[in-house]
Chains A and B, each alone.
Chain A
Amino acid sequence: MTVSSDDDLDALVTDFLAGDERALEKIYRRFSALVFTVALRSLGDATEAEDVVQKVFVAAWTGRHTYKPERASLSAWLMGITRNKVADTHQSRTKQRRIQNEVGANISAPPDTLDIADRLIIADEISRLDAVPQRVLKLAFYEDLTHAQIAERLQLPPGTVKSHIRRSLIKLRRRLEVAANAQQP
């Protein structure tokens, strides 16, 4: 099973909430790269990023009853947990450094995980769109073409282009939904 359509993901969430271990595995397969990359980009350390991934999926499983699908998309919820675990890691690093009294320790503020996460979610979701809607959206995003120009370029009816744009944007929005409010289990 590939978890690509919204329906697949909804079914997966249902199984996950019901305590199906296979659903957790599928969720891991679908989202572990996203979690790992966000952690890696923020922490800059693969070992620590791996630890974060482990903590996130363990927390997601043990705290699954706190996930409310109507309030946040699964990716947003996982990103919320990821941000917390990444912040914990930054914090313990800071403590570690204080303990070691490391000279010249450069305790910089953690990079903005929120925007990195959003961009990664969107980049990932764009890559998961079907071929034609994906092309349409990329032309709109990155070439700044109008829907009429896209219709001409791809030789599609303008109405089709418009509905691809609408459907894709709504799909992407669902992925970002309430990412900021996602709670830590």
Chain B
Amino acid sequence: MHSNPDLLALLALGEPVGTPEDHRHLAGCDTCRAELTALQEVVGVGRRTTIQDVLVSPPPQLWQRISHELSLHPSIDGTGPSANAAGPTLLTYELPDPTTARSGIASAAAADPAAEPRDGTGDGPGGDDPPTPADRTAPAPSSRSIRVASLVLAAALALAVGIGLGGNLDRLVPGTRETASVELNALPPWPGASGKAVLEQDRDGNRWLVVDIVSPEAPSGPREVWLSNTRAEPMMAMGFLRSDGSGRFPVPPEMDLASYPLVDVSQEPKDDESPGHSGNSMLRGKFPV
């Protein structure tokens, strides 16, 4: 009998699991070994993904070029419900073109309401607006839509960086300097909770959000850190705090923090099916802009 698939998955992740009998079988079975190798490859690629591995959407007019070249039926005009919205943690926002003087996500969004960042939770059934005709007839966009696929992934990476080093990482990373800090204030349902958020920049110019919280109430599920603008829309998921209430999250290089000064820590439900904010905020603070 071949190896249990669960066992192969755990072995691929490097967990020391399985009985001697399991290992004997694996050593002698080409099928199971090939399966394990394939899974190990996936794990390897997965662990090599970095914050840079973020998908960038091509400009909206590109579909028209393709459709024109292939002489597709004009009714297929690229305005159908987006299939690209499926990524549950995707956030779409506008990044200013470096050749323009404007900077900042908020200014880009303000200049073009259609480009307003959205978190995919508050929209229609598809969770993502199809491009409107106005999008396509607008003058050449001065900003490029960036699809941030991996914010949560990035946050998880930060945790990976931090794991084993304990709290106060800022003290342990040479060349890192604090650029801003803010006390986090408890919201009414969370009396006694307190915390602090610090922005840091390391020697290479990478920015980090370091959060530490203390709460008298035991976690009822994961606690997640968010950055948002003053309208709390969209909420950018930065990642989950560790069980000791601390976390260190990389800030994507293209993210304009002046547009995301609000720090929010949420209590997420234990079996959370939704990638969005639970609505249960514990603590909030605002970085001075």
> Does the CB pair A169–B49 fall under 8 Å?
no
> Does the CB pair A169–B83 fall under 8 Å?
no
Q: Chain A contacts of B73 at CB under 8 A?
A: 21
> Does the CB pair B69–A54 fall under 8 Å?
yes
Q: Chain A contacts of B65 at CB under 8 A?
A: 54
Q: How far is the CB of B127 from chain A (nearest CB, A)?
A: 8
Q: A22-B76, A142-B47, A173-B42 are in contact. Are A127 and B150 (CB under 8 A)?
A: yes
> Does the CB pair B83–A143 fall under 8 Å?
no
How far, in angstroms, from A82 to B127 measured CA to CA in the complex? 29
How far, in angstroms, from A17 to B46 measured CA to CA in the complex? 30
> Does the CB pair B47–A3 fall under 8 Å?
no
Q: How far is the CB of B130 from chain A (nearest CB, A)?
A: 9
Any chain A CB within 8 A of the CB of B24?
A: no
Q: A115-B48, A127-B90 are in contact. Are A36 and B149 (CB under 8 A)?
A: no
> Does the CB pair A26–B83 fall under 8 Å?
yes
Q: How far is the CB of A3 from chain B (nearest CB, A)?
A: 4
> Does the CB pair A156–B144 fall under 8 Å?
no
> Does the CB pair B63–A28 fall under 8 Å?
yes
Q: Chain A contacts of B275 at CB under 8 A?
A: 131, 134
> Does the CB pair A173–B62 fall under 8 Å?
no
Residues of chain B from 56 to 95 with CB closer than 8 A to chain A in the complex: 56-59, 62-63, 65-67, 69-70, 72-73, 76, 78, 80-90
Any chain B CB within 8 A of the CB of A68?
A: no
Residues of chain A from 99 to 143 with CB closer than 8 A to chain B in the complex: 115-116, 118-120, 122-124, 126-132, 134-135, 137-143
Q: A50-B58, A176-B45 are in contact. Are A146 and B15 (CB under 8 A)?
A: yes
Q: A131-B273, A156-B271 are in contact. Are A58 and B83 (CB under 8 A)?
A: no
**Segment at the interface with A among B151-159, B205-213, B259-267:** B151-159
> Does the CB pair B88–A127 fall under 8 Å?
yes
Q: How far is the CB of B17 from chain A (nearest CB, A)?
A: 8
Q: How far is the CB of B276 from chain A (nearest CB, A)?
A: 9
How far, in angstroms, from A95 to B146 measured CA to CA in the complex? 32
Any chain B CB within 8 A of the CB of A32?
A: yes
Find B80's partner among A25, A53, A130, A146 (CB 8 Å cutoff). A25
Q: How far is the CB of A115 from chain B (nearest CB, A)?
A: 7
> Does the CB pair B88–A162 fall under 8 Å?
no
Q: Name the interface size band of chain A.
A: 35 or more
Find B66's partner among A33, A40, A58, A138 (CB 8 Å cutoff). A58
> Does the CB pair A132–B272 fall under 8 Å?
yes
What residue of chain B has the Cβ atom nearest to residue A34's Cβ?
B55
Q: How far is the CB of A59 from chain B (nearest CB, A)?
A: 10
How far, in angstroms, from A8 to B201 measured CA to CA in the complex? 43
> Does the CB pair B85–A25 fall under 8 Å?
no
Binary per-residue interface labels of chain A (40-57) against chain B in the complex, 1 for a CB within 8 Å, 0 otherwise: 100000100110011001
> Does the CB pair A162–B87 fall under 8 Å?
no
Q: Chain B contacts of A22 at CB under 8 A?
A: 76, 80
What residue of chain B has the Cβ atom nearest to residue A171's Cβ?
B42
Q: Chain B contacts of A141 at CB under 8 A?
A: 13, 43, 46-47, 156, 160
Any chain A CB within 8 A of the CB of B39?
A: yes
Any chain A CB within 8 A of the CB of B245?
A: no
How far, in angstroms, from A123 to B54 measured CA to CA in the complex? 8
How far, in angstroms, from A7 to B286 measured CA to CA in the complex? 44
**Segment at the interface with A among B2-10, B110-118, B227-235:** B2-10
Which A residues lie at the B interface, using CB under 8 A? 1-4, 21-22, 24-30, 32-37, 40, 46, 49-50, 53-54, 57-58, 61-62, 115-116, 118-120, 122-124, 126-132, 134-135, 137-144, 146-147, 153-156, 162-163, 165-166, 169-170, 172-173, 176
